[in-house]
Amino acid sequence: MTNTNTTFPLQSWLDETCLIARAAGDAIMAVYVKDFSVYEKSDSSPLTEADLAAHEVIVTRLENLKPALPILSEESAEIPFEERSRWQSYWLVDPLDGTREFVKRNSEFTVNIALIHHGRPILGVVYVPVQNRTYFAAQGLGAYRQDADEPPVAIHVRTVPDGPLKILGSRSHSSQLLDDYLAKAVADIGEYELVTKGSSLKFCLVAEGAADLYPRFGLTSEWDTAAAHAIVLEAGGEVTDMNLNELIYNQKESLLNPFFFAFGQRHYDWSAYVPEGSGELKSKS
């Protein structure tokens, strides 16, 4: 990653952000174990009281960190690009990533908190409430996984696969483009295992060396990816667009990401198998 020469107290902020994510996870689990209502947002995505409760916990506690920075959350009021474009640094939050998985009660949902500086994620925390597992990283400090109160374990992408490549797909968003991509790739990569997961867990599996590639041919927003993006970077991997250019943030009016890859190593030219024209498409999960 480009050296952004920050003067932020990254270690103390990382420690505090982990605590904030876990507190948000507690708020989510308080809803998870009872009956709850599901509402539909304007983009037809689901919303629950858990999303809002986690948002309130995160925003309230991030506002106490000094120096104070802007906060962009999925559940915030829309902030015009004219205002956002002036931000050099800000917090980017998805209080409950994988609301569909939450509604299905399949445990594959996360709390995502990222610090963005000059368009790049320099700190990221992904908390998995049902597993009480935290993935976290900050620029120059490494990437880690912590289960409950056990000591954190350093994680790294795997450099040489010990068997067939493990490729990740979305649990709730199947894609013909992904099928077409894999059909083109198989001649080079050979046998592979396709694993489906929800939320930002897919990035975390790449970061900890449990999978090799996550190609996303579907709609996502910047808050869906930023926290886990920081973790993949510090674990030695990359998150790029379909042309293998680094994914960057807050560069346009739309908060939708382009289609992207998250991967551990460039074993192959991952861009070579992209179905014609799909690199220009965008959408939202």
Domains of the chain with bracketed CATH: 10-154 (3.30.540.10), 165-280 (3.40.190.80)
Instruction: Report the pLDDT value the prediction gives residue 2, as an integer from 0 to 100.
Output: 44
Q: How many residues does the chain have?
A: 285
Tokens standing for residue 251 = 């560069």
CA–CA gap between residue 113 and residue 170 (Å, rounded): 20
CA–CA gap between residue 51 and residue 70 (Å, rounded): 20
Q: What angle do CA 38, 43, 48 make, to 5 degrees?
A: 20
In order of 94, 156, 236, the CA distances from 206 in angstroms are 20, 8, 10
Q: 3-29 burial by CB neighbour count: b if 16+ within 10 A, else e? A: eeebebebeebbebbbebbbbbbebbe
What is the pLDDT tens value at each position of the chain, 285 positions in all? 444 556 899 999 999 999 999 999 999 999 999 999 999 888 888 999 999 999 999 999 999 999 999 999 999 989 999 999 999 999 999 999 999 999 999 999 999 999 999 999 999 999 999 999 999 999 999 999 999 999 999 999 998 888 899 999 987 766 899 999 999 999 999 999 999 999 999 999 999 999 999 999 999 999 999 999 999 999 999 999 999 999 999 999 999 999 999 999 998 999 999 998 775 544 333
**Rama region for 97: left / alpha / beta (φ>0; ψ in -120 to 50; rest):** beta
| Cβ-proximal residues to 235 (8 Å cutoff; 6+ apart), any chain | 137, 143, 155, 156, 157, 206, 207, 208, 209, 264
pTM of the model: 0.94
Half-sphere exposure in the Cβ direction for 250 (13 Å, CA):
28
In order of 118, 185, 241, 249, the CA distances from 68 in angstroms are 16, 46, 31, 20
Q: What angle do CA 76, 81, 85 make, to 5 degrees?
A: 110
